Structure 1
Amino acid sequence: MIPLRNIVVFPQMIVPLFIGRSPSLKALEDTMAKERMVVFASQKKEEVEAPSPKDISRIGTLSEIVQMLALPDGTTKVLVEGICRVRIEDFVQETPYFRVNISRIEEPEEISVEAEALVRTIIKGFEKYVKLNRRIPSETLMSIVNVDNPGRLADLIASYLSLKVEEKQTILEAVTVEKRLKELSEILEKEIEVLEVEKKLRGKVRKQIEKVQKEYYLKEKLRAIQEELGEEEEYAQPELAEYRKKIEGAKLPPEVKEKATKELERLSQMPSMVAEATVIRTYLDWLIELPWKKKTKSKLDISEVEKILNQDHYGLEKVKERILEYFAVLQLTGKMGGTILCLVGPPGVGKTSVARSIARAMGRKFTRVSLGGIRDEAEVRGHRRTYVGSLPGRIIQSIHKVGVNNPVFLMDEVDKMGMDFRGDPSAALLEVLDPEMNKEFSDHYL
């Protein structure tokens, strides 16, 4: 007896097998010297290299060795013909190969009405299966038409189907013809459903591809015609013309304008359906919409600052005095750089409202970003554009939202930041908080 992996031999079928394990090769040599008959049975688990009797199915196929050929890689190719189903009663010998006692499983000659009905259903189902499955040639249908025996018909069709070993073994173990036909009918119906879904999906994908190719072809043709006619970009590519107008009207710094123009040229050379085109559009939108040169006019009136602080807050004399000192120095020096005030205190004492009052006193817009719980350095500096769904950091997002480049910017809950394997966001804040560096703050996304 030779155990098989990944294959089931059915009666009346001629099957090529590749034998490589030494016990199986020894069994082949001995049987070729005698009666050329051997029992093939499937392993329950294919990963078992040296199966024991409990790893082997008890129903197998008695087969005749038709041809044997030794291959250069050490394996042996054999052509076997299944004769009949057998039941393995017991194992007489396990080394160097298996020897077993078997009993032949006889099949009834009479055909019941139920079996006849199942045969007709299975033949119709198999015809449908062959039409849906391109891997099975249509000539296969001719081979089953002339089969009169229902049991043999079930075995023949089962050998053609792309089934798992467990499913084929289930059909082999179905001793009665009716049970075998029922098992095959259920499996065949399930396989047809799967093939129909596959066909439907293939059709959808093909239509989508055809639609994209058609759009690309028509757009390229339209572009070529418009170039020949000398039409302006405004009519040929309205989206690109719109972006070009926005870039010209955004009053971008020279280096930013050069980068935006370069990205626009890249966008003009790629199809609109490409994923990279969406990334470039988002990038251009951020570049254009940022307030590069838009600012609010600041006012510095010490008495007005003191009046607003007293209106908005009772007490806090030391805080107000420090803020007035700060404004006095600004008024004397005339420099309005990105200087920093640090407000420290427990929750609810008025840190955020003091910052709002400062913005109101200066006549500037106010924006705040909460840094509590941030663990990723990219939240401050932004994600690089190579990542899907990347965006600028919180700093640039807040400036974009407020709409001017000189707001009073409050960074709240600085002490609540964390750190992990993605970096330390507090280290990234050094560039933001240093007055000598923050005017040249660099965001990874931009």
Structure 2
Amino acid sequence: MCTFPDNFRVRGYGSFASVDELCTSNMAPRSVRIPSRLPILLVSGGVLLPGSSMRIPVHAPRNMQLVKNHVMKRNSLSSIIIGVAATTSKDPQTEDLAALHGIGTAAVVAQVTGTNWPKPAYTLLVTGLCRFRLDDFVQEKPYPIAHVTQLDKLPGDLTDVNDDELAALLDTFKEKASLLVDMLDITVPVVAKLKKMLDSLPSQHLPDVFASIVKATYKEKLQVLDAVGLRERFEKTLPLLIRQIEGLRLLQNSKEQGNKKSKKIPDVRIVVKPPGEGGRRPLRIVGDQDDDGEVDEITELENKIKQANLPAQALKVATRELKRLKKMPAAMPDHAVIRNYLELMAELPWSKSSPYQLDITHAREDLDADHYGLDKLKQRVMEYLAVRQLKNNLRGPILCFVGPPGVGKTSVGRSIAHILGREFHRISLGGVVDSSDIRGHRRTYIGSMPGRVVQGLRTVGTNNPLFLLDEVDKLGRSMQGDPASALLEVLDPEQNAHFTDHYLNVPFDLSQVIFIATANTTATIPPALLDRMEVISVPGYTQEEKHNIATRHLVPKQLKEHGLTGEELQFSEEGLKSIIGRYTREAGVRTLERRLGAVCRAVAVKVAEGLPKPKQHAVENKESKEEDKTDDVHAVDEDIKVPHVDHPPNLPIVIDNHAVKDILGVSQNYIC
């Protein structure tokens, strides 16, 4: 028995399946032998022909019982054959079996969609197999079952192959059908499939298939269904094809005449200017391109592309897209897509580079000024910078700083960019699970955008920045792709000179970009990606190093952020060691910085409470001016004699071991 959830996917339906569905359907019309008894599905307002597909919404109680008891209780839909009979009643929930048409279509159920909650509602996708005649009903409830007689010819029956008139009729039909296929507004692959179907299908199936494509009334479809003989079927269907062809010709001629008239009549607009002298509103006729903001913007975009100094291949693509943009109306959806693409092409730094400024003698001083300790890391960075100074076009290794959080991996990368005079851009890769985040989305998708590498180049505005790939060990993997594999081309010096973003779709040279990665561990980095990087271990800080970092960097920084000065707050050696040893158990200094911030906030409260209150000036009114002068003197004397002054605390406030305990509480053996 087939089981369905409470809600399964509901697809939209029309009276008949589209031409694309007809071409891609696996249920091609074929000669079959149907059972002598079939359950009957009542259809109002539509006619199913052999070889065509139709979506039937199930509303009537008898149709609902047929779906529940006959269709959904089967293990597979492939063996379910039902009879589809049209009814003359316009009520979709009709129960009148006497109103059924005498000839119906045996069909196979291809799909069942719908929902079971809050009430059952189904839609059947059926494909017609052959005609049958309704003889009598053997069951009417809960759903009708009837004796039927198959009307179409079975395999092995003789056909009139020597009938010259029928052969001429068949040739005429194929000629008109081929012409109709060429005139239909469908895609090229569908046209090819229809023409292949026209050549490969047996002649007895062609009238039914094309009668289901053309526009015809309900009565005309019933006449085609009633045409059991092959000659009669061609005679009923051929006029429908000819009428459809003539209608399409008239439509094409009217469009061509309308286009010719629109070319002769210039596009004019009447511009009403604000009232001039004398209150008159002068009218001015504006031509097709005068004061046209859209044309001016396209011209400006064209000038930007010319000034961007694009490579030959990128310039060829940009020129082609610009021509399309000029011919395309602004209301079309592709207009905005092409325009955004060309703006990206114009803003990318194809040939704009930062000037080279590397002074190795001051590099060590800059590193020591920003970072304390990290001797091995600084030594490797100095080697890297020295080789780059000797050979500027070096395709150096990809450095990967591996160490615990808070030890300065990111800040070292920023310092390297400052020493080299390069623009710095950080790309956070933590939690990225889609390879399109690296290589971009193709422009065929709605809302597509370039990858993070191209976006970063657009942001920095130079083609030789320093990119910091942060948290490279936290890349994910999903059904959307593997971003770690997408990084292989980016980080490989032999490949990134021709890096192609899916959105940009033209090569961009990344050989001048310096890539530095950071990670907390190498265990989760894929081997292929790890092989392209040189791993440099960044160890955690000792307590002595933390003490020096706090004294040189963290304490001045926290005092400045909290509006304090060294005259108001001072940390004793004992207090700093207490904070480092008892309240920060970590490899980096982030928790230490938070603890120092907590102490600064507590001291800021004390300092703010001890400041004198601002003097309040009373607003004098007329009544106060008319009061007795003696009362004013007494009031002033009272204010002088009873001043309200807050005494500030004794400054500076020195943070020692006891003060740390009072502010931060009992010493912790863990990071909180």
The two structures have a TM-score, normalised by structure 1, of 0.52
Number of the residue aligned with 1:75: 134
3-state SS of the aligned residue for 1:364? coil
Q: For 1:354 and 1:66, how far apart are their aligned partners in 2?
A: 85
Partner of 1:119: none
The one-letter code matched in structure 2 to 1:439 is A
Instruction: Identify the residue that residue 295 of structure 2 maps to in structure 1.
Output: 237
1:278 equivalenced with 2:336 (yes/no):
yes
CA distances 1:401-440 after superposition (whole Å, capped 9, x unpaired):
1111111110001110011222211111111112222232
Per-residue CA deviation, residues 146-182 of structure 1 (Å, 9 max, x unaligned), is xxxxxxxxxxxxxxxxxxxxxxxxxxxxxxxxxxxxx
The count of aligned residue pairs is 266
* Other structure's SS at 1:445 match: coil
TM-align CA RMSD? 4.2
Matches within 5 A, 1:30-429: 44-49=61-66, 73-75=132-134, 221-222=265-266, 237-337=295-395, 339-429=397-487
What amino acid is aligned across from residue 356 of structure 1 in structure 2? R
Q: Tell whether the 8 Å contact from 1:263 to 1:280 is kept in structure 2 after alignment.
A: yes
Q: What SS is found at the alignment partner of 2:133?
A: coil
Cα distance change on mapping 1:220 and 1:366 into 2, 3 Å = farther
Q: Percent identity?
A: 45
Preserved contact between residue 338 and residue 439 of structure 1 (Cα < 8 Å): no
* 1:43–1:436 distance in 2 versus 1, CA, 3 Å: closer
**Alpha-carbon distance between aligned partners in 2 of 1:264 and 1:412, rounded to the nearest angstrom:** 37
Matched residue SS, 1:369: strand
Over 3 Å counting, the alpha-carbon distance change for 1:406 and 1:76 in structure 2 is same
Q: Which amino acid counterpart does residue 251 of structure 1 have in structure 2?
A: N
Residues 97 and 401 (structure 1), Cα distance of their counterparts in 2 relative to 1, 3 Å cut: closer
Shift, 1:236, TM fit: 9.2
CA gap 1:67/1:233 in 2 versus in 1, 3 angstroms: closer
Q: What is the aligned counterpart of 1:430 among 483, 488, 506?
A: 488
C-alpha distance after superposition, 1:258-282 (max 9, x if no partner):
2111100011222211111111011
- State the alpha-carbon separation in 1 of the partners of residues 99 and 435 from structure 2: 71
Matched AA of 1:73: F
Change (3 A) 1:220 1:250: farther
Contact 2:267 2:288 in 1 (8 A): no
Q: More helix by proportion, 1 or 2?
A: 1
Distance change >3 Å, CA 289–CA 22, structure 1 → 2:
closer
| Inter-CA distance 70–230: structure 2 relative to 1 (3 Å threshold) | closer
- Matched residues in 1 for 2:440 and 2:64: separation? 49
1:234–1:241 contact (8 Å) kept in structure 2? no
Aligned AA (2:489): E
Q: Distance in 1 between matches of 2:99 and 2:361?
A: 110
Distance 1:45 1:370, change over 3 A: same
SS at match of 1:73: strand
State the shift of 1:307 in Å: 0.8
What is the CA-CA distance between 1:316 and the residue it aligns to? 0.4
Is contact 1:70-1:76 (8 Å) kept?
Answer: no
Structure 2: distance between partners of 1:51 and 1:348 = 64
For residues 237-256 of structure 1, the C-alpha deviation after alignment (integer angstroms, 9 at most, x for no partner) is 32332221111122222222
Question: What is the Cα deviation at residue 372 of structure 1?
Answer: 0.9
CA, structure 1 residues 236+223, in 2 after alignment: closer, same or farther (shift >3 Å)? Answer: farther
CA change 1:44–1:288 in 2 (3 A) is same
Shift of 1:387: 0.9
What secondary structure does 1:242 align onto?
Answer: helix
Contact 1:371/1:411 (CA < 8 Å) preserved in 2? yes
Contact 1:431 1:437 in 2 (8 A): yes
TM-score under structure 2 length normalisation:
0.35
Q: How far has the Cα of 1:218 moved from its partner? A: 7.4
TM-superposed deviation, 1:370: 0.6
* Alpha-carbon distance change, 265 to 338 in structure 1, aligned in 2, over 3 angstroms: farther
